[in-house]
Amino acid sequence: MFKTKSILLVDDDVGSLDVLTIILQHKHYQVVGVADANTALELLLTQPFDVAIIDLRLPETDGWQLLDKIRSHHPLSTIRTIALTAYYTPTVALRAREAGFDACLSKPVTKQTVKHILNQLRD
């Protein structure tokens, strides 16, 4: 059974990063938040995380490219990933799943949607 403890949150929108961090910490998750893909990849290679929540629109290296880098590194290839987007549509969610994300989360996030998505990853 999958049990989430630590989450890497990657989002260049400080407000969104803060809100999601508060929601996750309130649910007793250990959260590390970063604003860019390069810092995220460095952390993923040096610290264990159960889940990475990745904004699809990041500066320089976007969330899609970060996912490719994660999946190409053998030790990271099994980490659970959640796409985060303010431009959610069923098509974007499907594309995210096809690209290798385990789930897709729409901005603005709510406590209920975060709980639902993380519970899905446990099943």
pLDDT digits (tens, 9 = 90+) for 5-63: 899 999 999 999 999 999 999 988 999 999 999 999 999 999 999 999 999 999 999 99
Least confident of 19-28, 67-76, 80-89, 108-117: 67-76
What are the residue boundaries of the structural domains of the chain, listed by start? 6-122
Query: How much is the pLDDT for 38?
Result: 96
- What is the DSSP secondary-structure string of 54-122? EES--SSS-HHHHHHHHHHSGGGTTSEEEEEESS--HHHHHHHHHHT-SEEEESSP-HHHHHHHHHHHH
pTM score: 0.93
Residue pair 105/53 in contact (Cβ under 8 Å)? The answer is yes
Contacts of 100 (CB under 8 A, 6+ apart): 67, 71, 81
Residue pair 79/49 in contact (Cβ under 8 Å)? The answer is yes
Domain 6-122: assigned CATH number: 3.40.50.2300
